[in-house]
A and B are shown apart, each in its own frame.
Chain A
């Protein structure tokens, strides 16, 4: 018997005992499960106990509006608070960086906020005073230390470290890019370039484009899944000009990649045309699948493990009928039954019943604004928050350039407005990624 086998040699002998213990464990975990956290947060992260108290909004600065700088905006979300639904604090960072996504460290003590254009990452302490986060460090040498990755997209908590999927590279500022790891202290650890056609040992390598966007893990399957968008040249370009350039429009990701998470080695490339963006793994104990939406083709895709234990990807629904509505952020409920799909093109959220993940069915849609990008959902599925901005140069113009944070309640059938913040009238900027904060952090 080899060592790895012998590790489990006692399993059979204790199966009855173990079953009882696991049942007890399950009860303990259920009774202590948090109810307030975002459904799309990293599984490695400490959770909010109770309800979210704050919504942190990473906001793009707008020239001539307020101080013009990117900023972290804090909105009070405590029910019954006299400041409920109001901005209670904002902290500007240096300049405009194409503020995009962010994420907490696993202990939830820091919030990392990334700038796509300058490749700066701003690290805030959200532990000492969650209502007034303090900027404690700026990573301003991302390109240099990572070996040429640029466009840090967000931050995904891993144990003691942060995984940052980038969008581009310094060499040609196209879509080839990497996953990068930093320690929670903000020190560089490693760069993992996305696979290309030359990468050995990867199934489907012939389809590989080397592009990246989101990166998320299903721990019990040791599965890391990445998606793909476009490079610096495209996401910093005026959208109207971009869509008129056929060559530029070819420079969008058309793949997802399954990795061995522990070894950080790519294993399989899937053809997913049309820029697959946000990845949402299901939470159920037996649910071995994730959803994504393709921005340019308006499709909902499922990446799933088949009956032979092989990972597959397939299109499972059209979003918004024919013509394309530019689906962007998506949110899967904690019970894996409902997906909310934000559509930038027409400003609607479309809600799908995905209790059968192979056959999603749209059950509701609502006009949220004239443009719509991000959605964050509470763990109990009762509260959703929406923001408007996609990218500084891709947002709509004129009267269509609404910039808002809008909060809704969800009862399983319809969305009802709870509060509405006009970020232009408040001279804040373009609100983008939202993350939940609280003073009570649990297990």
Chain B
């Protein structure tokens, strides 16, 4: 599958409510009516953006509420990367109509296939994020090598394996779909999989974190007395 076809598929997936959760049948929560405890600090590591500039990931996981998706552009599993990028695309489109989201949210698509996903390929992939109106920042990142990538994957608990069949129609890599919600202080506050990556939930979570900015999250448990 070439990148043009791939992006066409993404565009299609992006307008669906959710492939895995396409039959999601519930009312999403009202932002700010629930808590999102800190799961762990967001990991750091050296990355490169689609203009081939080096930077540290932590520069992009602080200061805004960040939704970060691990992907690889050769993935053709409809329940995985195309789906995740489709959801980020929906969030990006949503931010075009919402100044608070546009200023307060950041989107990151980061590849775990550095050999194939060069900065140029990520730049091509980033055509998804084009918008004529102000919208949330969407970064497309990769790494210079597997050695640079590995500690990032480990810090986020992102499992990636080669498939036994490199010509598998779903793509050569097997991975758990992981999308991370990171608060402005650099803490992971939610982790989504294909079964929970409902754009309505992610949006409610982003707005919940935007509402608490200035406050501090606490994981001190309520003690039974």
Contact = CB atoms under 8 A, between A and B. Distances in A.
A220 interface: yes
Contacts of A176: 224
B31 to A, nearest CB: 10
Nearest to B180: A160
A441 B201 CA distance: 28
B167 interface: no
Interface in A18-55: 18, 21-22, 24-25, 28-29, 32, 43-44, 46
Interface of A: 3-4, 6-8, 10-11, 13-14, 17-18, 21-22, 24-25, 28-29, 32, 43-44, 46, 106-107, 109, 145-149, 159-161, 169-171, 176, 178, 181, 183-185, 187-191, 193, 219-223, 260, 262-265, 285, 440-443
Contact of A183 (B40, B193, B203, B220): B40
Contacts of B79: 25, 29, 443
A220 B197 CA distance: 11
24 contacts: A3-B94, A3-B98, A6-B97, A11-B17, A13-B15, A14-B15, A18-B12, A28-B78, A32-B170, A146-B221, A148-B223, A149-B224, A159-B191, A161-B39, A176-B224, A189-B219, A190-B37, A190-B221, A220-B21, A220-B24, A220-B26, A222-B24, A222-B26, A262-B196
B192 interface: yes
A272 B28 CA distance: 28
B224 A193 contact: yes
B203 A7 contact: yes
Interface of A, secondary structure class, is mixed
A262 B201 contact: yes
A10 B170 CA distance: 27
A103 B118 CA distance: 38
A107 B39 contact: no
A264 B201 CA distance: 13
Q: Which 5 A-B pairs have the closest CB atoms?
A: A147-B221, A160-B191, A263-B34, A159-B193, A222-B26
A7 B94 contact: yes
Contacts of B25: 220-221
Given A22-B22, A220-B21, A260-B29, 16 more contacts: A11-B16, A14-B16, A18-B12, A18-B15, A25-B78, A29-B79, A147-B224, A160-B193, A169-B224, A171-B225, A219-B24, A219-B195, A219-B196, A220-B23, A220-B26, A262-B34
A147 B33 CA distance: 23
B6 interface: no
A184 B191 CA distance: 11
B68 to A, nearest CB: 12
A107 to B, nearest CB: 4
